[in-house]
Amino acid sequence: MNNQIQFTLTVNAGKWLIAKAISELKYVKKAVTNGTLLLFGGTTVSALTEILKRTSLRISGRITPRGTVTAYEKIDNIPHSIVIHKGKIYDLERNLESNEIIKKMGKYDVIITGANGYDARGNAVLMAGAYGMGSRGHLLATIYSEGSKIIIAAGLEKYMPGSVIDAINYAGRNSSVWSMGCSVGLVPLIGEIVNEIEAIKILTGIQAIVIGKGGINGAEGSSTMIAQGSNDSLGKLAQLIGWSLQKNISGLPESLKECTRGINSCSHHLGCCYKSGKLFKRII
């Protein structure tokens, strides 16, 4: 006989559950030890690198109460994105050998990226605040053409009402005359989306459903859920929830400090009200 539990996952706890689930996938384990795993930086993907290799990634773009902002400074000796090839880590941006590894990726290799949103049809997008989307932009077409498996690690808070296609048509780095942080365009992503529901299924075999969203006092953006299963499976899920709720946001701590007016990144960001000095009383 199945029992039922109710629980609330904060956004950060969800990131860690998603990362844990992805780390348990057989084809991901195989890619880490015997193939190639390409990881594009973000807080969820950094949580995954902590689980897999006990190392955090440098965090670049992020959304905060100030809007779409970036890091205060670029820390050159810590990678934002990495390649794990036969167990060894390569900095995607600065290691020439990583480029040669990527050229040989095929259908048994895996790419993992976060996303800034996805819709009910499974369409996902990444925000691009810099021209060409920075280091990962030039790789996307190549990756798709080689047939490697793509996993999109995106929590339930990233679910977008409406159509991602419509959002792409509205957005653009040159489209907004005023923006909280840099004005962004949207780059479409195609792959397998892993959110908290999928993560719970991977880790425990349990089907969970969302019964409410949001909260206060740190639970903003959270998901309140119900899951049914055997006592053993529910016990395992409860342990995982407890573990995830104790975790801090992943990412190199120094890189979590966000940008201010006049730093180097201002030179390639557009529309930013902090950069222009046109704050909330001056739109135009």
pLDDT in tens, 219-233: 999 999 999 999 999
Tell me the average pLDDT of the chain: 92
The residue ranges of every structural domain in the chain are 3-276
pLDDT at 75: 87
Prediction pTM value: 0.94
pLDDT at 134: 66
**Cα angle value 14/18/23 (rounded, 5°):** 150
pLDDT at 137: 63
184 pLDDT exceeds 80? yes
pLDDT in tens, 191-221: 999 999 999 999 999 999 999 999 999 999 9
pLDDT at 96: 67
Overall average pLDDT of the 226-248 stretch:
97
Overall average pLDDT of the 27-38 stretch:
94
In order of 1, 53, 90, 193, the CA distances from 83 in angstroms are: 45, 12, 5, 20
Overall average pLDDT of the 71-96 stretch:
87
d(Cα 81, Cα 90) in Å, to the nearest integer? Answer: 9
pLDDT at 238: 98
- Asked whether the beta carbons of 120 and 164 are under 8 A apart, the reply is no
pLDDT at 135: 59
Overall average pLDDT of the 124-153 stretch:
82
